[in-house]
Structure 1
Amino acid sequence: MPSHEGPATAAVPTPSAPDTLWFTRCPVPTATGIAADQGWLGREFAADGIAVRSLQDVPPEVAADHHYTHALTGLFREGGNVPALWARSRGERTRLIGLTWIEERQVVLVRAGSGITEAGHLRGRRLAVPRHGIAIDFWRAMALAGLHGALSLAGLTLDDAELVDVPAAPEGGQWAAELAALRDGVVDAVYVKGALAVEAARRIGAEVAVELDEAPDRRARVNNGTPRPITVHQRLLDEHPDLVARFLAVLLEAADWAAGRPAEVARILSAETGAGEEGVAGAYARGGHRTLHLDLSEERLTLLDQQKRFLEQHGFLAGPVDVHAWTDPEPLRAARTLLAARRTEGRAHGG
């Protein structure tokens, strides 16, 4: 008697695990940097035969431009939101799986004795806006957003000042061209942030006119690193969600570990940023070692959406990005559950 069953459906093979997971982070405070320093990322996946490597530790021809494009499918990226949003706007299949908010001391600098001492004094002034010959000019985006935030404290906009293009210096490091333009009187004010900027500003005797960190409304400080996204490629998430959850669980552990060790975190930040002890202390708020935790709260997503709209307005994105549709909260939920279980069993990296 003939069978009425249809043809057997072939089982879909489970994709084999990658032999290497990659991570990349900016030279700023990150849970990824803490976990890497402690050796926890390599330890987490060693038993699986999976190597964990940093893009920052391999030759340029290997790293390519993956820190910006996120075209490497096995990559976890904890870095500025400008390249992350840009990559998504170009159609790269990334997913947002975490956000941090870490104060990095954002200021507007002026020449000593200029008389510019508050946000309102920036009206009509020449403000430096760097221009770099790179695919996504996140330096320019940072300056525009920072100056916009400073002007907003006085009810002003970028249209109320004169924006002066400053070509990037071929050598000299971060902010070099803008600070040189300030020193030489080409511009009246410069936006800077972070440890190296604090040290560079001190070398030329610049004064702080606007401390964005003191603004009670954190919307004035929304910029490339505030909030800072953690992204992963959709393919890795689809094929190996367990690996993604485990990676995030290590970052959660690292943030918890850092919260009780300010001196250790300062040491790691000095190595990550390339700045000295004074620069690190001047750039990052006291208690910053307790703020490395990642989440996907509605507040942080709203702040990221504010940044996205600013970047769209100023032509930095190739296409529209829906921040909420980009977000996948499941990996972070799974990571928290995993970490709680490990701690119950006494198997957490950080004890």
Structure 2
Amino acid sequence: MTTLQDSTALDRIWYTRCPVPTASGIAYNLGWLDEEFVPEGIGVGVLQDAEPEIAERHFDHRLVGLFREGGNVPAIVARSEGAPTRLIGLTWIDEWQSILVREDSPVTGPADLRGLRIAIPAWAQDRARSFPRAMALHGFASALRLGGLGFDDVERVEVEGRAGRAPGNDPARAALWPGLAELAAGDVDAVYVKGARSAEQARELGARTAVELDATADRSWRVNNGTPRPITVHEQLLAERPDVVVRFLVRSLRAATWASTHVDDVRAILGREVGSGTDGVVTAYGDDFHRWLAPTLDDERLALLDQQQHFLGEHGFLAEPVDVHAWAAHEPLQEALRILAEDGGEAR
């Protein structure tokens, strides 16, 4: 195996562009990752813009130079299937997790879900790509429990499971969130959604919110693919170039600091990332999400991630259980925070 012990061996790192709010995404969009690494001959690539065989590594994380800050379902599934990754941070950004119904539906709360036909995206070609199914299952599981119900109280209807981004992030070309077409057609009665673009699509279709999971005070009710959201790296990169990992985190933390005082700029960046307008961003992420982009690895977030991996295991998504505490590598984030504290925590 080629190693990275010679600093010239690492000529590119990859940032994976998930359509969600991330400090690393802001750092990339501000040019700070290029500024950090390009002068020493390390290019910064966007994984989704690479050739297909590289872009596929978004799901299995078998690419040494990859920094992945995205949904936890593919990350946990990859780890359970033996991907040599380490967890270096967790963020939490609520993103309008909701159960939608048609405008004329009598459903007004969780208890009213009894007897409904709920949309569950079908399995994809593998477990990691089946994250829309995992999201819907966990979202409905939480909503049903809020109403004192379970899956035996509803009818699960399998729908098309693809949840892709639009080419060029063009909102007009974005695929409908899985289940929304079936909801509009009357084939299902309720759909789980999250995020800015689904908020816009729901408005366009005339769907309304029956259960707003983000309104629950206890975060354990809101655990899903993006909550908490992991940052993972290849263990070889961490072992052989820990300086690169720390510097990536420093730039991400600086971006989080910058974001906390630049909400309009952050909304513009996020709109481009998720393929949504300002209204969708505001609906999905609220007024203060820009203050909470910095990652941690605290006990609460690790416990919430463990809750997610248990759920995924119970519903057939994992080859093996994942020990999230053994997965976590605390040292890079600790060192990045130390560096940031030494220079006063300034954005740059």
Shared fold per TM-score greater than 0.5: yes
1:34–1:111 Cα change, 3 Å: same
How much has 1:51 moved relative to structure 2?
Answer: 1.0
Q: What is the aligned partner in structure 1 of residue 289 from structure 2?
A: 288
CA distance in 1, matches of 2:21, 2:255: 12
Number of residue pairs the alignment of both structures matches: 335
How much has 1:46 moved relative to structure 2?
Answer: 2.4
Deviations 1:255-287 (A, max 9, x none): 011001110111001100001111111111210
Q: What is the aligned partner in structure 2 of residue 78 from structure 1?
A: 69
Structure 2 residue identity aligned to 1:328: A
How much has 1:343 moved relative to structure 2?
Answer: 4.2
Q: What is the aligned partner in structure 1 of residue 318 from structure 2?
A: 317
Matches within 5 A, 1:100-119: 100-119=91-110
CA distance in 1, matches of 2:42, 2:282: 36
Q: What is the aligned partner in structure 2 of residue 7 from structure 1?
A: none
1:140–1:175 Cα change, 3 Å: farther
CA distance in 2, matches of 1:72, 1:269: 26
How much has 1:57 moved relative to structure 2?
Answer: 2.6
Q: What is the aligned partner in structure 1 of residue 148 from structure 2?
A: 155
Identity %: 53
How much has 1:174 moved relative to structure 2?
Answer: 4.4
8 Å CA contact retained: 2:132, 2:161: no
Q: What is the aligned partner in structure 2 of residue 5 from structure 1?
A: none
CA distance in 1, matches of 2:206, 2:213: 19
How much has 1:60 moved relative to structure 2?
Answer: 2.7
The 3-state SS of whatever aligns with 1:229 is strand
Q: What is the aligned partner in structure 2 of residue 261 from structure 1?
A: 262
Larger radius of gyration: 1
8 Å CA contact retained: 1:25, 1:32: no
CA distance in 1, matches of 2:4, 2:163: 50
1:13–1:70 Cα change, 3 Å: closer
The 3-state SS of whatever aligns with 2:98 is strand
Matches within 5 A, 1:160-175: 160-168=153-161, 173-175=174-176
8 Å CA contact retained: 2:5, 2:241: no
Q: What is the aligned partner in structure 2 of residue 6 from structure 1?
A: none
The 3-state SS of whatever aligns with 2:16 is strand
Structure 2 residue identity aligned to 1:297: D
The 3-state SS of whatever aligns with 1:315 is coil
CA distance in 2, matches of 1:154, 1:299: 25
Structure 2 residue identity aligned to 1:142: M
Q: In terms of mean alpha carbon deviation, does 263-272 or 53-62 score higher? A: 53-62
Which residues of structure 1 form unaligned runs of 5+? 1-11
8 Å CA contact retained: 1:174, 1:197: no
1:208 paired with 2:209, answer yes
8 Å CA contact retained: 1:73, 1:233: yes
Q: What is the aligned partner in structure 1 of residue 23 from structure 2?
A: 31
Q: What is the aligned partner in structure 2 of residue 139 from structure 1?
A: 132
Deviations 1:170-222 (A, max 9, x none): 99744445111111111110000001101111111111100111111111110
1:43 paired with 2:35, answer yes
CA distance in 2, matches of 1:162, 1:21: 45
Deviations 1:155-184 (A, max 9, x none): 222232111111347997444451111111
8 Å CA contact retained: 2:86, 2:327: yes
How much has 1:115 moved relative to structure 2?
Answer: 0.4
Structure 2 residue identity aligned to 1:155: G
8 Å CA contact retained: 2:132, 2:178: no
1:170–1:240 Cα change, 3 Å: closer
Q: What is the aligned partner in structure 1 of residue 12 from structure 2?
A: 20
Deviations 1:55-91 (A, max 9, x none): 123233442x111110001110000000000000010
8 Å CA contact retained: 2:182, 2:188: yes
CA distance in 1, matches of 2:290, 2:199: 19
* RMSD of Structure 2 on Structure 1 (CA): 1.9
CA distance in 1, matches of 2:269, 2:91: 18
Q: What is the aligned partner in structure 1 of residue 88 from structure 2?
A: 97
The 3-state SS of whatever aligns with 2:7 is coil
Q: In terms of mean alpha carbon deviation, does 105-114 or 47-56 score higher? A: 47-56
Q: What is the aligned partner in structure 2 of residue 88 from structure 1?
A: 79
Structure 1 residue identity aligned to 2:87: L
